Amino acid sequence: MSQYVVLIGPPGGGKGTQAKRVSEAIGYPHISSGDLFRKNLRAETDLGKLAQGYLDRGELVPDDVTIAMVRDRLSEADCEAGAILDGFPRTTPQADALEKIAADLSAAVDPVILIEVPDGTLVERLSGRWMSKSGRVYHTIYNPPQVPGKDDEDGSDLYQREDDKPETVRNRIKVYEEQTAPLIAYYQQRKVLRPVDGDQGLDEVTHSILTVLEDES
């Protein structure tokens, strides 16, 4: 039986940052639906062209498209033992689809880690965020690169995401509250929800998540 560890939480809550660290610690691949969309956008694929408007507006890409993309990724060989899902599921139909994918691929969706961060912190986190093309995440204050504006690993230029403009961030938070927050009750009912305080330092949040994973094993 393989294990799907799900990270949910608001935009800027630290899902991507923590998923990468946890992936390095436990060896499962980090699968970010947002990163998959952004890769398709850069490669100008049909999927990227379809997703572009939704990402620019801070809205969710339609469920059928998103589910097919994640199903394909989870079917790859490196996910045989498990995967860390960041940004998926984000709606109840996506959560239902993940249960079905897990049943088909002999996996369990457990635990679902909710990274809790107060709203006031989110805009500050996102306005200071810088990304590398390969998906590494920095923050001008909380997680600065060694050389300003350059990726620590390959020295490439960092960039700021188009959807981190304050007006788009506000819409993403609204979309999270309307469409994704209901998953908290969904996973509480299934007894797999594990809340973690995301309003601590990066290392403390990683430690809290790894403690949850150790307690589960």
Residue 206 as a binder of ligand AP5 (CB under 6 A): the answer is: no
Give the contact letters, 26-65, x = binds to ligand AP5 (CB under 6 A), - = no.
-------xx--x----------------xx--xxxx----
Residue 43, classed as helix, strand or coil, is coil
Q: Which two tokens stand for residue 168?
A: 């788009």
**194 annotated active-site:** no
Binding residues for ligand AP5, total number by CB under 6 A: 37
Residue 145 as a binder of ligand AP5 (CB under 6 A): the answer is: no
96-115 residues near ligand AP5, rule: CB under 6 A: none
Burial category of 12 from C-beta neighbours within 10 Å (exposed 0-12, middle 13-18, buried 19 and up)? buried
Residue 84 as a binder of ligand AP5 (CB under 6 A): the answer is: no
Give the contact letters, 4-23, x = binds to ligand AP5 (CB under 6 A), - = no.
-----x-xxxxxxx------
Catalytic residue among 90, 125, 136, 194: 90
Going by C-alpha positions, the residue among 8, 195, 192, 24 that lies closest to residue 85 is: 8
Residue with smaller CB distance to ligand AP5, 3 or 66: 66
Q: Which helix (H) or strand (E) holds 189?
A: helix 182-189
Cα separation, 127 vs 140, whole angstroms: 9
Residues in the chain: 217
Q: Which two tokens stand for residue 84?
A: 């860390």
Strands 107-116, 129-131: pairing kind: unpaired
Cα separation, 183 vs 23, whole angstroms: 23
Could you say which of 4, 28, 88, 187 contacts ligand AP5 (CB under 6 A)?
88
Catalytic residue among 21, 38, 73, 129: 129
Q: Which two tokens stand for residue 190?
A: 């299934």
Q: Could you list the residues that contact ligand AP5 (CB under 6 A)?
A: 9, 11-17, 33-34, 37, 54-55, 58-61, 66, 87-88, 90, 94, 125-126, 128-129, 137-139, 142-143, 163, 172, 198, 201-202, 205
- Known catalytic residues? 15, 90, 129, 161, 172
